[in-house]
Structure 1
Amino acid sequence: MNGQDFNLRHLRAFVLVCRLGGITAAAEAVHMSQPAITQAIAKLEASLDEKLLVRSSRGMYPTTAGEMFVHRCDRALNILKQGCADAATRQKAAATARFDTKISSTQLRALIAVAAHGNFSVAARAIGISQPSLYRTARELEKVSGLTLYRKSESGYDPTVAARILIRAAKLSFYELDQALDELSSFGGAHSGRIVIGALPLSRSVLLPQAINMITQAFPDADIQVIDGPYDDLLNGLRHGEIDLMLGALRDPPPAEDVVQTPLFDDRLGIFCHPGHPLAGRDNIPLDELIQYPWILPRKGTPTRDQASAFFRANGLSDPTRVIETSAIILVRSLLESGGRLTMISQTQVSDEVKLGVMLPLPIEIGDTPRPIGITQRTDWQPTQMQERFLQVLRQVSQTLD
């Protein structure tokens, strides 16, 4: 089971029972019969295998598990409510009033799938339903919301701006429900949990291995996913609830208003070569000799590449013309071994390679300012117990890298 499997109407009924203290009051507010609400709560309890509500002389109140679940449900529904309002405002259309109370998880899954694949047939196959069923569901969402969600293009169907706003809200809403499932699992005594980490180059080779080894000692059944990729792709995943946190070099200024950055330690850059390189072991190396050799550098637009360009400019040199672009440390090391190349890279990132004697720092002062390495997360992120413990572990490990 995951967050997309919940019936949103059932969740609204459950939240109102907790808030109003009884089924009768909730039935009037959510426009459902009392037997329907009773059945909805029974289905929720059965699917979660948890008792969520208890009855007393003063009404119905959530259990401890119910308190945990209603908190996440409330967050999920509020995110969806705000997303629907923002989508309607952005399109400036006569959207149905409070249409967030009228849409379903099935409709939102259809919207997400069509936007991801740009084609109804491909999207239908991806989520395992028939094309006519998906098409009908997708168009029902447009009718219920009063919004135009798809635009025909040469490549298929593109989501409108309103659709993209609604998609982000839906993904974040489903994310909160996934968090609820993790919390209830931990509440039941399982040494598990789930975390998805967007890993930038430095974190993959130094910080993450130690942190993952430590967290799995406390949570041996944890589901840990590490995703690497360009910074912008990881940031997009973070902001859409597909990634829990990003780990690596922080940006100045912060990349978006809805994320917050927490520094863990500072890092410096260095110029490195293979011990067999012609410049190895030399002192007082003329800087103009550096550009006579081929280089290995991260792709353009990354902080390290920007710093490399600034270093060459500050010393009156042109950028190297023979450059292999990569941030993969294994590839960097192999390329240094196989040719007379140089690289500018994080000193922390290659500390093990230097200790092993397979990479050698050149005695050249780059003049860079320390780069903060840390965590990027959504501003309103509320981590689960396992995720909070992982943050503590990251801080622990980072203290050994200062």
Structure 2
Amino acid sequence: MNLLPHWRSLRALAAVAQAGSSQRAAALLHVAQSSVTRAVQQLEEKLSSPLFERSGRGMQATERGRQLALRATRALQFLATADRHHPRSLTLAWHGSPLALGVTERHLQVLQALAESGSEGRAAGQLGVSQPAVHQSLQQLEHMAAASLFIRTRSGLRLDEAGEALLLACQLALAELRQASDEWPEPGAALQGQLVIGTLPFSTTMLLAPALELLLAQQPKLQVVVIDGTFDALVAQLRHAKLDCIVGALRSQPPSTELTQEVLFEDRLAVMARAGHPLATQPGLDWPALRSAQWVMPMPNTPAEL
């Protein structure tokens, strides 16, 4: 289920879940109350499930409504972080962000197409719309973000700093919608969707493989993709929502304040030598003796090397 076409309805859902009524939600969104009511009803019809319990005191989200509203709120908050109307050091609630309030499905699609193609003409062909339509959407997006998003060169368009920040926010927001879609099955039903895991050397065979075998035995409808790579490359993919998690040796500090680390177990290093090595029978080894030996060392800047 693709939730992106229901972006406006998801925004209304998040507002009602926070405000507790369609009237107060309309004030948050700066739209008519009837617009909010209609958007929520359309989403409930699409999902074939009530998202709120209505009473004289307002609207209370159902369990599934709260779950979906949480994902929608997170997606909107990611977009608010890319809004340049306020200092970047200021934490802005999503309903106070012109970008989060105004962006549409088309704006998100245009941004991604332009970033991939580097040309308004190629982006228009990719989306099946006219070049003026792409240009207009870009102008609207830059106005809502209060910043230029691309550097114009003879060879085409290239994202500037604000554009990179907005693209990252867009990718994280879309990842929230994908997660929301995967979480939507009836309570008690098997998990569905795709889990993408990044792995570092030595973590796949002994640690990850048995865990995945157990997981897939319990959740056979789940699709798992395992991608190996260097730490820096995997972190970049994780920050852009192309991975769900990384399994491997931890660093002393998380590589970014946006990421968290969780210890699964403590491991110890050991020195290995061939049978009959001269140092194996030498008592009282000291550093000069060890320094003169030939070593096979871990890669630079890895936990084992440090």
TM-score of the alignment, normalized to the shorter chain, above 0.5: yes
Q: Distance in 1 between matches of 2:277 and 2:36?
A: 79
Asked whether the 8 Å contact 2:113–2:127 carries over to 1, the reply is no
Percent identity of paired positions between Structure 1 and Structure 2:
31
Partner of 1:284: 277
Partner of 1:102: 102
Provide closer, same or farther for how the CA distance between residues 120 and 245 of structure 1 changes in structure 2, counting only shifts above 3 A.
same
Provide closer, same or farther for how the CA distance between residues 248 and 227 of structure 1 changes in structure 2, counting only shifts above 3 A.
same
Asked whether the 8 Å contact 2:114–2:157 carries over to 1, the reply is yes
1:148-163 superposed matches below 5 A: 148-153=148-153, 155-163=155-163
- Is the aligned partner of 1:215 residue 2:210? no
Q: Distance in 1 between matches of 2:46 and 2:298?
A: 50
Contiguous gaps of at least 5 residues in structure 1: 91-95, 273-279, 288-310, 320-342, 347-368, 373-402
- Is the aligned partner of 1:34 residue 2:52? no
Q: Distance in 2 between matches of 1:267 and 1:195?
A: 29
Q: Deviations over 1:281-324 (max 9, x none)?
A: x512589xxxxxxxxxxxxxxxxxxxxxxx9xx724789xxxxx
Shift of 1:154: 5.5
Q: Distance in 1 between matches of 2:116 and 2:86?
A: 21
SS at structure 2 position matched to 1:113: helix
The one-letter code of the counterpart of 1:232 is D
Q: Distance in 1 between matches of 2:97 and 2:191?
A: 44
Shift of 1:221: 0.4
Flag the structure with larger Rg.
1
Provide closer, same or farther for how the CA distance between residues 103 and 176 of structure 1 changes in structure 2, counting only shifts above 3 A.
same
Q: Distance in 1 between matches of 2:227 and 2:26?
A: 44
Shift of 1:257: 2.2
Partner of 1:227: 227
SS at structure 1 position matched to 2:192: coil
Asked whether the 8 Å contact 2:175–2:241 carries over to 1, the reply is yes
The structure where strand makes up a greater share of residues is 1
Partner of 2:19: 20
Q: Deviations over 1:214-269 (max 9, x none)?
A: 10111110121222233222101111222111111222343222222223231536
Provide closer, same or farther for how the CA distance between residues 257 and 192 of structure 1 changes in structure 2, counting only shifts above 3 A.
same
Partner of 2:70: 71
Indicate the RMSD between aligned Cα atoms, in angstroms. 3.5
Provide closer, same or farther for how the CA distance between residues 345 and 76 of structure 1 changes in structure 2, counting only shifts above 3 A.
same
Partner of 1:59: 58
The one-letter code of the counterpart of 1:283 is G
Contiguous gaps of at least 5 residues in structure 2: 89-95, 281-286
Asked whether the 8 Å contact 1:238–1:245 carries over to 2, the reply is yes
The one-letter code of the counterpart of 1:120 is E
Provide closer, same or farther for how the CA distance between residues 101 and 112 of structure 1 changes in structure 2, counting only shifts above 3 A.
same
1:85-96 superposed matches below 5 A: 85=84, 89=87
Aligned residue pairs: how many?
Answer: 288
The one-letter code of the counterpart of 2:223 is D
Shift of 1:131: 5.4
SS at structure 2 position matched to 1:196: strand
Shift of 1:3: 4.9
Q: Deviations over 1:70-123 (max 9, x none)?
A: 2222222222222324x8646xxxxx9733212223212321332234333444
1:3-402 superposed matches below 5 A: 3-7=3-7, 9-85=8-84, 89=87, 98-125=98-125, 128-130=127-129, 132=131, 133-153=133-153, 155-185=155-185, 187=187, 189-265=189-265, 266=267, 268=269, 282-284=275-277, 315-316=291-292, 371=304
The one-letter code of the counterpart of 1:147 is A
Q: Deviations over 1:351-385 (max 9, x none)?
A: xxxxxxxxxxxxxxxxxx9849xxxxxxxxxxxxx
Q: Which has the higher contact order (CA 8 A, sep 6+)?
A: 1
TM-score, normalised relative to structure 1: 0.62
Q: Distance in 2 between matches of 1:232 and 1:117?
A: 25
Q: Distance in 2 between matches of 1:261 and 1:25?
A: 38
SS at structure 2 position matched to 1:110: helix
TM-score, normalised relative to structure 2: 0.79
